[in-house]
Amino acid sequence: MKKNRLFRLLIAVFALALVAAACGGSSAEDEPATTTVPTTEAAGATGSETTEPVAAPLRVAIVAPSAKDDLAFTQSMVDAVNALDRDIELSITDGTFVIEDAAAAIRGYAEDGNDVVIAHGTQFGASLIEIAPDFPDVTFLWGTATDTQGLDNVFAYSPAADEGGYVNGIVAAGISESGIIGVVGPLEAGDAVAYIKGFETGALDGGAKSVNITYTGSFGDVALAAEAAQAHLVNGVDVLTGSAQMVVGAVGVASQNDIPWFGTQANQTSLAPDLVVASQVYHWEVILEEMLSLRDAGVLGGQAFEINLANGGLVIEFNPGYDLPEGVRAAADAAIQGIIGGTIDTGF
């Protein structure tokens, strides 16, 4: 009967494997980020069905395709919710690159009585059309997206990633000696396209000779992103940028070859402390606060929001560890003002 015991052990290990796979890093679920500072504003908004005099925390859930600390897209939203000055109970399911898994998680959170469910991925739109009407009291946030698909309990959100891209492009052109700049992108979709298009326009406006763009065809293939960066180096590229979570591979190549790097979606300085020049960082909290206030006032959705340089949702964070020439820094500030003032076209 030794065999039997072994078999049971095996089954237990397998069960563990399945659980591990199913959660796929949703480990964050059991460590909710709870802020205990109640906001007077929220308590004051009486009449709304979710707020009572003794303010119960607002229950928010995030469903996202990559890891919650990916130094990119997903992390930007997690950081934003944590930055809100509200009493929030946060749940996260990340790493749901399979859409069906994400849809199940979205529905699950709505059924569980969450007040706000954030579907953090363009690809979750079709699922929302099915799910949102079943939960009229729940507010769904969907991004990146520029419209709500006609659903009145959905808020859409998107970054004007082209704006930061443009500013990064101006700076990149300013420090490039060869005038040839390389870009590593994933698929031609989402905010990656906006960022890359803005970057290209900025770099060319800033005097670059050529901007070489590679879409590797994958959001996750780190090795391919690394080799895409290598391929750029042969052609005289001396500044690199890129978008999406697989760029960590490209940053590695940049760092091995002393090539300055520009980041987007989150501050990537930690990946190459000496070489990251600047990162465009998403501060969703600016529009998140707006959306939640609308919900407090009884408007559960139906509007689209954008973060940009003007509303402070997009911030260019320069790495103090990189010695940027003053003239270039001034050009960057001028570009930011130009975009806010509407005098610069990012070409997107």
Partner 1 sequence: MSDFFTLTVLVAVVGSGVRLATPYLLAGLGETVGQKSGVLNLGIDGVMQLSAFSAYFVVLKTDNLMLGVLAGLAVGAVMGVFYGVITIVFKATQGISGIGIFIFGLGFSDLLFQRLVGTPKPIRQLPTIEIPFLSELPVVGEALFQHNPLTYVAFILVPVTILFLGKTTFGLNIRAVGENPHAADSLGVSVERTRYVAILIGNTMAGLAGVALVLELGIFQPNLTQGLGFIAVALVYFGSWRPSHVMAGALLYGLVNATVLQLKARNIIPLSFSELAAMAPAVLTIVALVILAQRVKGPAALTKPFIRH
CA angle 312, 154, 57 (to 5 degrees): 75
Helix (H, G, I), strand (E, B), or coil: what is residue 125?
helix
Q: Does 32 bind partner 1 (CB under 8 A)?
A: no
Q: Does 120 bind partner 1 (CB under 8 A)?
A: no
- Residue reference for tokens 């749901």: 96
d(CA 151, CA 77): 22
Question: Are 91 and 32 within 8 A, CB to CB?
Answer: yes
Q: Does 22 bind partner 1 (CB under 8 A)?
A: yes
Comparing CB distances to partner 1, the nearer of 16 and 297 is 16
User: What is the nearest approach in angstroms of partner 1 to the Cβ of residue 155?
Assistant: 28
d(CA 143, CA 180): 33
Comparing CB distances to partner 1, the nearer of 61 and 138 is 61
Rule CB under 8 A: choose which of 87, 89, 221, 290 binds partner 1.
221
> For residue 300, what are its two tokens?
């559960």
116 phi and psi angles, rounded to 5 deg: -130, 130
Q: Does 260 bind partner 1 (CB under 8 A)?
A: no
d(CA 22, CA 211): 41
d(CA 162, CA 196): 7
> For residue 347, what are its two tokens?
């070409």
Q: Does 18 bind partner 1 (CB under 8 A)?
A: yes
The interface region with partner 1, picked from 140-148, 149-157, 210-218, 299-307 by CB under 8 A, is 210-218
Q: Does 187 bind partner 1 (CB under 8 A)?
A: yes
- Least Cα distance to 87 among 233, 296, 303, 309 occurs for 296
- Least Cα distance to 153 among 291, 306, 43, 307 occurs for 291
- Give me the 52-91 binding string for partner 1, x by CB under 8 A, dash otherwise: --------------xxxxxx---x----------------
Rule CB under 8 A: choose which of 7, 52, 152, 258 binds partner 1.
7
The interface region with partner 1, picked from 17-25, 121-129, 130-138, 147-155 by CB under 8 A, is 17-25
Binding site for partner 1 (CB under 8 A): 3, 6-7, 10, 13-14, 16-25, 27-28, 66-71, 75, 95, 97, 182, 187-188, 212-218, 220-224, 226-228, 230-235, 237, 245-246, 248-249, 251-252, 255-256, 270-272
